[in-house]
Amino acid sequence: MADIGRGALVEVLGPLRVVADGVDVGVTRAAQRRVLAILALAGGRPVDAEVLIDRMWSGEPPATAKTALQTHISALRRLLPEGAIRTEHGGYVIDTAVLTLDTTLLDTELTETTDLADAGDWHTAGTTAAEALARVRGEPFHDLVDDDFAIGERTRLTEVVATLTEFRLEAQLEIGQAGAALAGLERLTAEYPLRERGWRLLVRARSASGRTAEALRAVQDARAAMAEAGLTIGTELVRLEADLFLDEDQPAVERPRTNLVDPLTTFIGRDELVDDVATDVAEHRLVTLHGVGGVGKTRVAREVARRHVDAGGAAWFVDLSVLDEASDVASAVVAAIGILSEAPTVDAALQAWAPNTKALVVLDNCEHVASDAGRVTRFLLDHGARITVLATSRRLLGVPGERVVALPPIPVVDPGGPVGELTGNDAVRLFVDRARLVGGLDGMTPDVARSIAAICRRLDGLPLAIELAAARTRHMTLDTIDRRLDERFTLLTTSDGDDDRHGALASVVGWSYDLLSPAQATVLRAISVFRGTFDLPSAATVVELDEAATADALGALVDDSLVVFERPTGSYRLLETVRAFAAIELDRAGAHDLIEARHLALRVGTCVALEPAWLSTGMHEAIESSRGMIDDLVALVDDTSARQRPDTARIALHLGRWFRRDFKHPQAAHYLTAAEGGLDDALENERLSLLSRELWAVGRSEEAWVVAQASRDAADRLPDSTASAAALCRYANIRLNRLAIDAGDAVEVNRAGVEMARRLGDPAFLLRTEIYLAASLAFVGESAEALPLIDDIRRRAIDLGDHTTVLESLTIAGHVCRLCAPTDRDLRRALLDDLFSRFDFAEALVDEDASLLIMMALELGETALARRMVAQVERQQRSPTQATGLFTVTGLLLRRFDGDADGVWADVEPLLTGCHERMASTLHTIAADVAADRGDLAGAYDVLRRFESYEISPTQRSELVGVLAAVVRAEVDAGHRDAAVETLDRIRSIMRDHPPRAEGTRAIERPAVYALMAEAEVASMIGGADLAWQAVAREAAFEFDRQLAVERHRRSA
C-alpha cells in the first residue's frame, strides 16, 4: 500500500475527512469541509481566492464572503498540521508535503497494479488493487457531488476505481479462482455495462468454471448493452464467442481447486497468527484450531485455506455446523468437495478420491460430531498421503499426531493508553471496520478510540462479540453499547438469517454449554462467581467437591475451551462472556445465593489471613497474593447485595491497601471509604490513616486533613500498633504539605510515631516511619538531622534485606538532598549512582517520587539520563491517575530543558482543563512559561485566568508567583511596560504575605526564585528592584534556578 509519510491524510473518496496518526482530526463544519474539498480538488495547485469564493457559494457569494473564507481557512489551519494550507499568489494551496491526498495514493496504486500485472505477478497485483479499493468509502468528492466544476475529476476517479476492480477480479482468474471471481464480475458488468473488459473477464470466468452456455449468454448480454448505447462489441469479445462456438482454442475448463468463496468482509489483523498456522499446516498433517466459540476459528481457517490456494494449492472447506449429532461427516465431505463417484458408499468414494489428491481439507465446527470427525480425519490421512486436514473445534479430535493450536482472542489494550496504540490495535480496527460497514461510525477521535477500546476490552477481544457490537452502532451510541454490555446476550444478536450459532452471542456459548456433562455444567456454573483468576482449592471450596473431582471437571472445561488455564501461575479464569452466560445459568438453577455465600466467605478469609503482611516485611507477599483476585474482590464490594454484609468491609480495606500500593489513588480512596462501618477499632484507625493519605493524593486536601486529625485522635486513644504509628506519621506528612509555613507540631508527632514503631519491635516498619521523619525534617530545614538519618535508614535497610525500604530510602534521600543540600552536586550524583547500581529502571521508577529523581538528573545536567527515565515512566504508568499527571509534568519539564517550546505547548495545553489540584501550580507555571517562550502574551494571560479560577490552598497561592513571573516576561518581551510593573507589584504583594525563610520550606523556595526572575525582567526594562526581600529570595533559591534566572536576565538585557 502506498505510504502517506509522516503527515496527515485527506480522504475524499467518500465523505471528506482528515486522518492524522489514525485519528480523525474532526473537520465537522460543512463550510470547512467544502473549502478543504475544493482545495483538494486542485491537487496541490493554488486556487485563487476569488475562484475559491465563487465555488464556495456556487456563484452567489454573500457580501461577507472574503471575511468568511478567511475565518474558515483559519479554523482549518488550527485543526490541520502546521503548514498544511499555505497562502500563495493571492490564493490558497494544500501543501502536499504536509497533507497527502488519498486520490494521489489511489493513482499511485493503480500504476503499481498495472506494472505488476504486466510483469505477470498477479498475486501481488490483486493484493495491491484490493488494498487500494479499501480506500474507497463512497462517491469521490462526496462533498462536491452537486458541483459542475468537480464533474471531470469525479468521473476520472470513478474510472480509476472501475479499473482497479477489474484488475482485482482478473487477478483471481489468473491464479485459478474463477469461481470466486464470478459474483464480483457479475456486479461489475451490471454497474459498468459499457466497459468491455468486464464482459471479457465474465466470459472467461464462466468458461473456466465449465459454464459454457452461460459464457455465451454473457456475450449476448454485452452485445445488447452496447447496442443500446449505439456501440458494438470489440474484436476480442467476438473472438471469445467464436472460440466457445467452435470449441477451438477454448479457455481450458479446469476443475475448480477450491470451493472457497470470497468473504463479505475484510480480514483484520492476526496476520502473524495466520502465518504461524500456515506453517503448522505445512509441517503437520492434522492441525486443530481450538478455542472458545466466537474467537474466530472459522475465519482464521478460511484465511489459511485462501492463502494456500493463492500459493497454487487446492483447498476444500467442509462446514459441519449444519449437521446434527447423528449426521454422517463423510457424506458432508463428499458433498462439499463435489466428488463424483459410482462407489457404493461414501467411504468408498473417499477411498477412491484420496490417494490421487493433494489438498488441504478444512473441517469446520467439529465439536458436536468430534468422534465421527476424528474417524473421517484418520480415514483421509490413512488413504491420502498428500492430504492435510485443518480442523476447527471447541473439542479435540483425539487423532494421533494432532497438532493443537489454541486460538486466543484478539489482544486488547488499555483504553487509557496512547491514542496511536488504540487505533492500531486489531480489536479496535475490527470494530471500526464493521461499524463503518453499517454506516454507524463517521470519524475517529481520541474519545471515540477510547470508547471502542473499552468495549473491546469488556468483550474479551472475541471477534464475533466485537462484530455484533459494532453492528449496533447503526442505531446506538458507543456509550449506550458500553452501558448495555451487562445485558450482552440480549444486546449482541442478529436477525440477518445467519446460522444462529454464529449470529447470537448466547447461542455461541450455549452451543458449548449444551455439550457438557451434568457434573461439568455444575462446576462451570459455580465458578462463574469468580471475576478474576482462581486456583484449584478455591474452585473446590465454592463447588464443595474434593480437589480431585474438581480438577477433573476443570480439565474437561479447559479441553472444551470454556475455561482458560494460566500455565505460569497454575490458575484458571473465565472469559467474561463465558462467565456471564454461566452466571445466568447459575441463577436459573436457583443456586446463586448459596454459591455466592461460599465465595464471599472464601475471599474474606483470604483477606484476613493477609492482613498482618501489609505493614511488615511480608508486604510483597500480600501484593503478589492479591494480584489475581483483585477483580473478584472489586465485584464483591461493588455488588449491592453483598455490600450489606459486614464482612465486605474487610475486603474493601484490602482493596484500599492494594490500590494504594499500585498508585491508583482514586480507587484506593473509593474502597477505603467503602470499608467504613464494619471494622474493629484498630482496623478502623488504619483505614482512617490510609484514607487521609489517599484523599490528599487525589486533591481532596480539606477532607484529607479532617480524616488525618480523626486518625491521630484515634491513635492517641488506642494501644500501640503499626496502624497507630502509621497514622501519626501520615498526619504529620499532611500537616506539613497543607500548612507548610506553620509546621506546628508535625515533626514532634512524627517522632512519636517513630518511637511507637520502635516499641513494637518490627525493624522494617520502623524504617518506614523513619523515612517519614526524615522527609519532615528536610521539609522544615533541619538538614543536620535529616541527612544522617536517611543515610542510616539506607544502611539498615540493606542489612535487613528489605528491598522496598532500600528503594524508598534512596528516593526520599534524593528529596531530602534537594531540600537540604541543593548545592551539593556530588551527594546527589552519588545517590543516583547508588540507586541505579542496586535497581534497574523498572524497579527504581515505580511511584510518583520518580519525578524527584528525574529532576535531580536534570539539575546535574544529565539530560540523556533524565530522558531515559521519563521514557521508562511513560511505559509503566498509563492510567489517568495523579501519579501519571506528575510524570507528564516531569516529561514536559524535560522538553522545556530541550528548548522545544511549541512541542511542550502542544502537550501541556490540553492538560490545563480538569487539571489535578496537586499538579495545578507546576503545570500552569510550565504552561505560562512556555507561552512566554513562544511570545504568546494572550496564551500567558489565559493560563493565569485558569489558575486563578482554582480554589487553591495558601501554599499554592504562593505558587501563583510562578505563573505571574512568566506573564511578566511575556509583557516585557511585548513591550508592555505598565502591565509588567503592575504584575510585578502583585508578585511583591504575595511574597510579602508569604515571606521566604532562610531554612527554605518547599512552599516558598520556587516562588522566591520566580519572583527574583520577575524582578530581573522588569529591571532590564526600566531599572530598579525591591532589594529588601530580594536578598532573602536568593538565599532560598536552588543553584540551577539561580543560573536559569541569570541566563534569562542576560537574554532580556
> pLDDT per residue over 930-947, tens digit each?
788 777 888 888 888 877
Does 494 or 859 have the greater pLDDT score? 859
Distance CA 751, CA 757 (A): 10
Within a domain: 71 = yes
pLDDT for res 621: 62
Q: Specify whether 339 is located in the same domain as 393.
A: yes
Residue 423 included in any domain: yes
Please name every residue paired with 93 in a beta bridge, in sequence order, or none if there are none.
86
Q: Decide if 997 is inside a domain.
A: yes
Q: Which of the listed residues 761, 781, 811 is the one where a domain comes to its end?
A: 761
Lowest mean pLDDT among 423-432, 549-558, 746-755: 746-755
For 144-161, the pLDDT digits (tens) are: 888 888 888 888 999 999
- Indicate whether 46 belongs to any domain: yes
Rounded to an integer, what distance in angstroms lies between the CA atom of residue 103 and that of residue 152? Answer: 14
**Contact assessment for residue 695 and residue 734, using Cβ atoms and an 8 Å cutoff:** no
Q: Which residues contact 709 (CB under 8 A, 6 or more apart)?
A: 731
Q: Is 328 helix (H, G, I), strand (E, B) or coil?
A: coil
Listed in sequence order, the residues at least 6 apart from 214 whose beta carbon sits closer than 8 Å to its beta carbon are: 206
Same domain as 392, residue 362: yes
Give the pLDDT score at 850. 67
Whether residue 203 lies inside any domain: the answer is no
Q: For residue 815, what pLDDT is reported?
A: 67
Judge whether residue 823 has pLDDT over 70. Answer: no
Q: What pLDDT is stored for residue 126 in this prediction?
A: 84
**pLDDT tens, position by position, 97-143:** 888 999 999 999 999 999 999 988 888 888 888 888 888 888 898 88
Band (pLDDT 50/70/90 cuts) for residue 57 is confident
Of 726 and 288, the structure prediction assigns the larger pLDDT to 288
pLDDT for residue 849: 60
Instruction: Please write the tens of the pLDDT for every residue from 760-771.
Output: 888 877 887 888
pLDDT (tens digit, 9 = 90+) per residue, 613-647? Answer: 665 545 556 666 677 788 888 888 887 554 456 67
* Amino acid at the residue 519: A
Closest C-alpha among 703, 777, 740 to residue 955: 740
Residues 487 and 541 in one domain: no
Asked if residue 573 has pLDDT above 90, the reply is no
> Can you tell me the distance from the alpha carbon of 781 to that of 791, in angstroms, rounded to the nearest whole number?
17
Domain residue limits at 749: 701-761
Residue 163 has pLDDT above 90, yes or no: yes
CATH of the domain at 523: 1.10.10.10
pLDDT of residue 269: 81
Q: Over 50: is that where the pLDDT of 95 sits?
A: yes
Q: Return the C-alpha cell found at 320.
A: 459441519
The length of the chain in residues reads 1053
Q: Encode pLDDT of 652-678 as tens digits.
A: 888 888 887 766 778 888 999 988 887
pLDDT level of residue 798 (50, 70, 90 thresholds): confident
- Res 1038 pLDDT > 60: no
Q: Over 80: is that where the pLDDT of 780 sits?
A: no
Q: What is the pLDDT of residue 791?
A: 80
Q: Is 57 exposed, middle or buried (0-12, 13-18, 19+ CB in 10 A)?
A: middle
Q: What is the pLDDT of residue 876?
A: 58
Q: Higher pLDDT residue, 38 or 264?
A: 38
Band of pLDDT at residue 301, cut at 50, 70 and 90: very high
Backbone angles phi, psi at 868, to 5 degrees: -65, -40
pLDDT at 497: 41
User: Is the confidence at residue 948, as pLDDT, over 80?
Assistant: no
**Predicted local distance difference test score (pLDDT) of residue 499:** 44
- 598 inside domain: no
Which of 175, 197, 218 marks a domain boundary?
A: 175
CA atoms of 772 and 755, how far apart (whole Å): 13
Contacts of residues 475-483 at CB distance under 8 Å and 24 or more positions apart, as own/partner, are: 475/440, 478/448, 478/451, 478/452, 479/451, 481/455, 482/451, 482/454, 482/455, 482/458
Which region among 375-384, 495-504, 975-984 has the lowest average model confidence (pLDDT)?
495-504
Structural domains in the chain (count)? 6
User: Once rounded to an integer, what is the mean pLDDT over residues 247-261?
Assistant: 57
Mean of pLDDT over the chain: 79
pLDDT of residue 921: 66
Q: How confident is the model at residue 433 (pLDDT cuts 50, 70, 90)?
A: confident
363 vs 729, residue with greater confidence: 363
Instruction: Evaluate whether residue 608 is within a structural domain.
Output: no
Domain co-membership, 456 together with 382: no
Confidence category of residue 875, pLDDT binned at 50, 70, 90: low
- How far is it, in rounded angstroms, from Cα 771 to Cα 751? 11
Same domain, 164 and 17: yes
Q: Are residues 708 and 577 in the same domain?
A: no
449 in the same domain as 389:
no
**CB–CB of 357/291 below 8 Å?**
no
Residue of 927, 931, 930, 997 lying closest to 958 (CA atoms): 997
Q: How, if at all, do strands 403-406 and 17-20 pair?
A: unpaired
* Judgement on whether residues 524 and 487 belong to the same structural domain of the protein: no
Mean pLDDT of the 475-491 span: 79
Among 280-289, 342-351, 412-421, 811-820, name the one with the lowest average pLDDT.
811-820
Residues 470 and 543 placed together within one structural domain of the fold: no
Residue 235 domain flag: no
For the segment 74-85, the average pLDDT, to the nearest whole number, is 85
Rounded CA gap, 98 and 86, in Å? 11
| pLDDT value of position 661 | 73
- Note whether 10 and 137 are same-domain residues: yes
Is residue 183 predicted with pLDDT exceeding 90?
no
Predicted TM-score (pTM) of this structure: 0.56
At residue 1001, the pLDDT reads 39
Residue range 167-177: mean pLDDT, rounded: 84
Quick one: 385 and 433 in the same domain?
Answer: no
Confidence of residue 32 (pLDDT cuts 50, 70, 90): confident
Q: Which of 627-631, 711-715, 1037-1041 has the lowest mean pLDDT?
A: 1037-1041
Q: Which range is least confidently modeled, 222-226, 665-669, 804-808, 995-999?
A: 995-999
- Residue 729's pLDDT band, with cuts at 50, 70 and 90, is confident
Given 445, 471, 506, which residue is the final one in a domain? 506
pLDDT digit string, tens, across residues 899-933: 666 666 666 666 665 555 555 666 777 778 778 87
Same domain, 448 and 330: no
The 3-class secondary structure across 701-747, one letter per residue, is HHHHHHHHHHHHHHHHHCCCCHHHHHHHHHHHHHHHHHCCCCCCCHH
Average pLDDT over residues 261-277: 83
Q: Is 178 helix (H, G, I), strand (E, B) or coil?
A: helix
Read off the pLDDT of residues 338-360 as tens digits, 9 standing for 90 and up.
Answer: 776 566 788 888 888 888 788 89
Q: So what's the pLDDT on residue 1049?
A: 43
